[in-house]
Chains A and B, each alone.
Chain A
Amino acid sequence: DAGVIQSPRHEVTEMGQEVTLRCKPISGHNSLFWYRQTMMRGLELLIYFNNNVPIDDSGMPEDRFSAKMPNASFSTLKIQPSEPRDSAVYFCASSFNRGNTEAFFGQGTRLTVV
């Protein structure tokens, strides 16, 4: 398996633009997580899905952020409109939700909003 695949790896965009981050979890995993990492706030859980259903989105900063998981092999995190304070590394992770298991992370998307 290729692991969790995220795209793009880097994104530079202007303030006000829409940004879409993509994630393909490991095949067979039924839990998917979106994290944001910054120096100031560390690794924050934004939202997670179980069997394609959003279970907890309490970490989503505000209405500008939205996430979808239309099927078991694809998820998106959208920011519209983007702001400079959204600049961070966004990680997608997946796991097999069956007892205590590990989370597998993608390589991350480094987002810079100018």
Chain B
Amino acid sequence: GQQVMQIPQYQHVQEGEDFTTYCNSSTTLSNIQWYKQRPGGHPVFLIQLVKSGEVKKQKRLTFQFGEAKKNSSLHITATQTTDVGTYFCAFTSGTYKYIFGTGTRLKVLA
């Protein structure tokens, strides 16, 4: 079935550095969603992208959907300790089944 791979699996950054995680699919996606899971917490929805080439921003976070709708990225500018967690991309298949990527675990060193 459809799957999405995320890279990197882990990332350690110094506070203030930028961070990017990538989500790649072998097939065209109808949409891409991003979720954040804090340590010990549950996934929380951040944003959804549906248009080819779409770019959305939330403060220091920039989300992008590729032109071919097969990849997406999440970029965090000037990371803070509050950004710690695992970031998942996800998409909904034809019958609204949410398939999650493998996740990128971010650690921010103060």
- Taking beta carbons and an 8 Å cutoff, which residues of A are in contact with B? 31, 33, 35, 42-43, 45, 48, 50, 55-56, 91, 93, 95, 97, 100-108
Q: How far is the CA of A102 from the CA of B33 in the complex (A)?
A: 8
Which partner residue on chain A sits nearest B49 by CB separation? Answer: A100
- Taking beta carbons and an 8 Å cutoff, which residues of B are in contact with A? 30-31, 33, 41-45, 48, 50, 88, 90, 92, 95-100, 102-103
Task: Please indicate the chain A residues that have their CB under 8 angstroms from the CB of B50 in the complex.
Answer: 100
Contact across chains for B44 and A93 when beta carbons are under 8 A apart: no
- 29 of the cross-chain contacts (CB-CB < 8 Å) are A31-B96, A33-B97, A33-B98, A42-B103, A43-B100, A43-B103, A45-B97, A45-B100, A48-B97, A55-B95, A55-B97, A91-B42, A91-B43, A93-B43, A93-B98, A97-B96, A100-B31, A100-B48, A100-B50, A100-B92, A101-B96, A102-B45, A103-B43, A103-B98, A105-B42, A105-B43, A105-B44, A107-B41, A108-B42
Contact across chains for B31 and A42 when beta carbons are under 8 A apart: no
Q: Distance in Å from the Cβ of A25 to the closest Cβ of chain B?
A: 14
Task: Please indicate the chain B residues that have their CB under 8 angstroms from the CB of A107 in the complex.
Answer: 41-42
Contact across chains for B99 and A104 when beta carbons are under 8 A apart: no
Q: How far is the CA of A96 from the CA of B90 in the complex (A)?
A: 16
Interface contacts beyond A55-B95, A93-B43, A107-B42: sample of 9 additional A-B pairs, CB < 8 Å, sorted by A: A33-B97, A42-B102, A45-B98, A50-B95, A50-B96, A55-B97, A97-B96, A100-B48, A103-B90
Which partner residue on chain A sits nearest B41 by CB separation? Answer: A107
Q: Distance in Å from the Cβ of A2 to the closest Cβ of chain B?
A: 14
